[in-house]
Structure formats: C-alpha cells, structure tokens
Amino acid sequence: MKSDLDSLIELLEAEKQFLKTCIKDNTQEWEYLHAHYHSKALFKLNGELRILKKLKDPFYDEKLELERSIEIFKKRDKMELYLPADSYYEKLIKEYIDKLEKLNERKSEPFYDDQKIDDALFNLLEKTNVGFVLYLGAKDNLSFTFELSADNILEISLSVKNVLNVDYFFGDDADDDEIGPLNKFKGLGFSLNHTGNKLIYKYDMSGFKEASAIKILLSRAIYDIFTYAELDKPATLVYY
C-alpha cells in the first residue's frame, strides 16, 4: 500500500513535469514573463520535493550527488578520445558506482521512524517525566523542548543559540523575508510566545496513539530550516 508520503511525492512530481511543459511552451511563444513565474514556482517545488525525498530517505542528497558525478565523469570520458581503457575517468566512475551501490544497500530509516520519540511522548502521557529535550546540536543548545499541559496539550518549543543568528532568526527583519526561518516555522504551525523569544507548536494529545505527525514535523524543520546547520548525529534526547 502506498504511503501518504509516496502519494505526495508522486503528486508533486506530476506538477513538476507540468511546470516544465509550461516553461517550454512559454519560451516557444515568447511569453517570458509567464516563463519567469513558472520557473520560480518550479524552483520552490523542487525544494519541497527535496525535503520530502529526504524525509523518505536520509541518504537522498548523498545518492543524488554521486549519480550526478557519475554522469559528469561519463561525459568527460567520452570527450577524451585517446584515453586508455582504464582511464582516470573510468576509475572514478567505478569508484563512485561502488559508493552508490553500498549506499543503496544500507538500510535507510527516515528520521521520523525513530521509536525513541514515541516512547518519550508516551512517558509524558503516563506522567513518568515532566518533559524532555531533543538536542539537535548539543554544544550550541539547538533543541526542541516537549512539555505536556494539564489539559493534554503538547507544547513543542524551540530554542536556538549560536548555530543561527538570534537577531536574524527572531528580529523584525525576518518578517520581511518570505523564505526566512521565522516564516518557515510559522508555515509549519509554530507561533511566537508573548515575549517573542520562543517558537511554540501546540498539539492535542487526546486519543494519542502514534507520533508520526510530530516526527514528520520535526523532520521538516531539520531538513528544510536547519539544512546547513551542523547537527549532531544522532540527536540526543534528555528527560527532566
């Protein structure tokens, strides 16, 4: 049975092909303004697809880079007419194909499949712990804090220090940037607290059975917003 994630990827891939066709038609008909708008939409959609594919396979970027390198080496090898059979590029092609095959053989478990988060959330429901912190970058205190209120509302709050510039992250200028981190978090459903120093996401835990929605939320934050941050591998979960 096809998962919701696979269905969404398939839907966006179809939209991607549609946009490519639109751009081609716009260019042929000299409608360059329309081509520009469709190109911007395609750029944004490619970013969304990359996030979803990384949610499905954490090795996606690494595999894609290896595949691109192999194609480049193959083209360069064809251009060199007088190279021996075991040319430099052929050796590189073999080396990169071996790397890709080994990567494909590795079991790729999406971030949101980690059972530790499920266990931690059930511990909150059972009042075993007051809360827990998921450290993405322990040395820089980049983390998500989880606390359960008396009325079974889970509050996920975000604290960012050092890895990202706090002034940029929470400052007035961030609201003017459509694709800035603050607006990206708002797009995921987070909102600023009354003092403006934390982002908070609220989730109703009534009838809670499994944590896929919460783990997908965390994965989107990691792959979309913290793409270039130096994160711990693996993340650390600490109860309190």
pLDDT above 80: residue 154: yes
> Residue 57 class from Cβ within 10 Å (0-12 exposed, 13-18 middle, 19+ buried)?
middle
Retrieve residue 238's tokens. Answer: 């600490």
User: How confident is the model at residue 233, as a pLDDT?
Assistant: 62
Helix axes 32-56, 4-28, angle to 10 degrees: 160
User: How confident is the model at residue 218, as a pLDDT?
Assistant: 84
Fold designation for 111-239: Yope Regulator; Chain: A, (3.30.1460)
Runs of H (alpha helix) within the chain: 4-28, 32-56, 60-79, 88-105, 115-125, 166-170, 181-187, 212-220
pLDDT above 50: residue 165: no
Which has the higher per-residue pLDDT, 118 or 202? Answer: 202
pLDDT above 60: residue 74: yes
Rounded to 5 degrees, φ, ψ at 218 are: -65, -40
Domain regions of the chain by residue span:
1-57, 59-107, 111-239
| pLDDT bracket for residue 205 (50, 70, 90) | very high
Q: What is the DSSP secondary-structure string of 127-153?
A: TS-SEEEEEEEGGGTEEEEEEE-TTSE
User: How confident is the model at residue 172, as a pLDDT?
Assistant: 42
Q: Which of 69-83, 190-204, 224-238 has the lowest mean pLDDT?
A: 224-238
Token look-up 């053989």 returns 105
> Residue 199 class from Cβ within 10 Å (0-12 exposed, 13-18 middle, 19+ buried)?
buried
User: How confident is the model at residue 170, as a pLDDT?
Assistant: 41
| pLDDT bracket for residue 24 (50, 70, 90) | very high
Average pLDDT over residues 79-101: 78
The most distant pair of C-alpha atoms in the chain lies apart, rounded to whole Å, by 75
Average pLDDT over the chain reads 79
| pLDDT bracket for residue 11 (50, 70, 90) | confident
